[in-house]
Amino acid sequence: MSPEIIGLAGIALLLVLLAVRVPIAYALAAVSLIGIAMLRDIHVALSQLGTVPYEFAANWSLSAIPMFVLMGAIAHHSGMTAGLFNAARLWLGRLPGGLAVSTSVASAGFAAASGSSVAMAAAMGRIAVPEMLKYGYQPGLSAAVVAAAGTIGSLIPPSIILIIYGWYTHTPIGLLFVAGILPGLLTAFAYVGCIVLRCYLNPALAPPIDERPGWDLKLAALRQIWPMPVLALVVIGGIYSGATSATEAGAFGAFAAVVIALLQRRLGWTEIRGALADTLQSVGTVLLIAVGAVLLTRFMAMSGLPAMLASLAIDMDLSVTGIIVLMAVLYIVLGMFLDPLGIILITLPVLLPLFSSFNMDLIWMGILVVKLIEIGLVTPPVGLNAFVVKSVVGDRIPMVTIFRGLLWFVAIDVVLFIVLALFPAISLWLPTLVSR
């Protein structure tokens, strides 16, 4: 059996294991070790198992992940998220679908302090969904806007997915962060436009709110949201100015979040324990999956399958557009069944040689990949953000209602992906300014 056939068989076995709900980390490690043992021998496979976890965990750039996750956890547990939503509600509540608009805007703001889409969906779901249901908003819209707005955290820095992509592709994480700003804001504005237009044409989706808060309440609410701009300035400002690397910015951001929460007298032992528990759980999951993905990369390299596929694409005379279309189909299909981190770490060993063969800009490709992952987060049957929101709302909103409401946002994301693919400058303009 040729090495390439063994590689293909390994991919097929991996998909079977994932289909029967074997945890991604274990499926990746098992397939990789079996494949390496078949290509070399069992001793080589076991030596990889002994060295890869240490080499991965000792990687300096990946230390940004726990720092950014901790920053977001502290911001959530200390109540910064609730203050952001309250301010958005007071200022934007009278727009058509004002509470849903407020959820999108608050999610974009919270993205500056959280690198996790799932964490954002959970946090905003607890705050925003009950508020919208109380004012008579359609349940599908209420849940769907939270699930969709949570995906903004994958683009607006700091983003865990962008850190993993940058580490794997050896692309500067700071430039990836900057590249995600405009696409992330564009996504938030597109969501807002969709909500306002739908609710204007069909007021039954979101009955108007008669409250008229005074300027004193509005200005007081603005004074509560200063922590988020400060955290964004610490992270993005530090990277943009060259004062910190992306890794150092994570540590400074986490430290700033602690200091701000202490100054606001919102950080007690209960909040600290909650933030640390969330951080340990999230980071442990990320690192375990990533170690399995590194083993898969070793297996794929030994099999020669990525090189064969790159050569095949060249022989087929595919264009850059053709590669992007194939990538989109692959990610959307996998996104229906797998979680985002698993998707990116399973596909990059195969796609990266294609990107290199066609001299495709890796920053641009990173933003396109993350945009496709955002679509996967809200598509059935395993739209992770949809299930997170479902776990928050319980039996009040059926799963089918949530997915039906998400169809509008999926359509918007598909259009935005096409726009980002046709106009690379949207993603590359800010990185070009920073790197000058």
Residue 355's alpha-carbon distances to 122, 125, 156, 325, 358, in angstroms, are 34, 37, 23, 13, 5
- Going by the DSSP 8-state scheme, the letter that residue 149 receives in this structure is H
- C-alpha 352/C-alpha 365 separation (Å) is 10
- Residue 307: both structure tokens together: 């090189």
Domain extent at residue 430: 3-435
- C-alpha 226/C-alpha 221 separation (Å) is 10
Residue 363, pLDDT score: 94
- Going by the DSSP 8-state scheme, the letter that residue 379 receives in this structure is S
Q: Which residue's entry shows tokens 């990949």?
A: 369
208: CB partners within 8 A, 6+ apart: 94, 96
Neighbours of 395 (CB within 10 A): 6
- Residue 415: both structure tokens together: 């259009």
- CA angle (275, 110, 172) in 5-degree steps: 90
**How many distinct structural domains can be found in the chain?**
1
Residue 331, pLDDT score: 84
Amino acid, single-letter form, for residue 239: I
Nearest to 31 by CA among 55, 54, 7: 7
Rg of the chain taking only CA atoms, in angstroms: 22
Judging by beta carbons within 10 Å of its beta carbon (0-12, 13-18, 19+), is residue 386 exposed, middle or buried? buried
Residue 16's alpha-carbon distances to 9, 193, 337, in angstroms, are 11, 41, 12
Our CA dihedral for 112, 114, 119, 124, rounded to 10 degrees, sits at: -30
- Residue 115: both structure tokens together: 């690198």
- C-alpha 320/C-alpha 341 separation (Å) is 25
52: CB partners within 8 A, 6+ apart: 291, 294, 295, 298
Amino acid, single-letter form, for residue 306: P
Residue 199, pLDDT score: 92
- Residue 329: both structure tokens together: 């189909």
Instruction: For 48-78, give one letter per residue: b (16+ CB within 10 A) or e.
Output: beeebbeebeeeeebebbbbbbbbbbbbbbb
- Residue 429: both structure tokens together: 């303009």
- C-alpha 80/C-alpha 224 separation (Å) is 8
- C-alpha 75/C-alpha 116 separation (Å) is 13
- Going by the DSSP 8-state scheme, the letter that residue 265 receives in this structure is T
- C-alpha 158/C-alpha 105 separation (Å) is 17
Residue 310, pLDDT score: 65
Residue 313, pLDDT score: 64
3-state secondary structure 293-306: HHHHHHHHHHHCHH
What is the pLDDT tens value at each position of the chain, 436 positions in all?
788 788 888 878 887 887 777 877 788 888 888 888 888 888 888 787 777 777 766 666 677 778 888 887 888 788 777 777 778 877 887 788 888 888 888 888 877 777 677 777 777 887 888 888 888 889 989 899 988 988 888 888 888 888 889 888 889 888 898 899 999 999 999 999 999 999 999 988 988 877 777 777 777 777 777 887 888 788 878 877 777 777 788 888 888 888 988 888 888 888 888 888 888 877 777 777 777 777 877 787 788 776 676 677 666 767 788 889 888 888 887 777 666 777 787 788 778 888 887 888 999 999 999 999 888 878 876 677 887 788 778 778 888 888 899 999 999 999 999 999 999 999 999 898 877 6
- C-alpha 268/C-alpha 230 separation (Å) is 21
Length of the chain: 436
Instruction: Check: CB of residue 153 under 8 Å from CB of residue 111.
Output: yes
- Residue 210: both structure tokens together: 């008669």
Full-model pTM: 0.80
